[in-house]
Amino acid sequence: MKRLGVVLACLVLAACAQPQWHNAIAHRFRLQGIALRQPDPGVAPSVISVLPVDAAPGLDGQAMLYSPAAGQLLPYRDSEWLAPPPALVRAALADTLARQRWVAAVEQDAAVAPAPWLLHCALTRLEHDFANPPGTVRLSLRCELVRARDGAVAAHWRSALRQPLAVADAAHYAAAAQSLLDRALAQALRRIAAALRAG
CATH number at 184 reads 3.40.50.10610
Average pLDDT over residues 138-155: 96
pTM listed for this prediction: 0.85
Q: What pLDDT sits at residue 4?
A: 37
Which residue type is seen at 171? A
Q: What percent of the chain has pLDDT over 70?
A: 86
Least trusted range by pLDDT, from 53-57, 69-73, 156-160: 69-73
Average pLDDT over residues 150-173: 96
Local structure of 28: helix, strand or coil: strand
Q: Is the pLDDT of residue 10 over 70?
A: no
Q: Would 15 be classed as within a structural domain?
A: no
Q: Would 140 be classed as within a structural domain?
A: yes
Domain of 92? 44-198
Measured distance CA(84)–CA(86) in Å, rounded: 6
Q: What pLDDT sits at residue 111?
A: 67
The residue with greater pLDDT, 192 or 111, is: 192
Average pLDDT over residues 172-188: 98
Burial class (CB in 10 A: 0-12, 13-18, 19+), 151: exposed
Q: Is the pLDDT of residue 15 over 80?
A: no
Buried b (16+ CB within 10 A) or exposed e, 86-125: bbbbbbbbbbbbeebebbeebbeeeeeeebebbbbbbbbb
Q: What pLDDT sits at residue 21?
A: 29
Q: Would 172 be classed as within a structural domain?
A: yes
Say if residues 147 and 117 touch (Cβ distance below 8 Å).
Answer: yes
Q: Would 25 be classed as within a structural domain?
A: no
Q: Would 30 be classed as within a structural domain?
A: no
Q: Would 124 be classed as within a structural domain?
A: yes
Q: Provide the pLDDT confidence category of residue 132 given band limits of 50, 70 and 90.
A: confident
Q: Is the pLDDT of residue 53 over 90?
A: yes
Q: Provide the pLDDT confidence category of residue 52 given band limits of 50, 70 and 90.
A: very high
Number of domains in the chain: 1
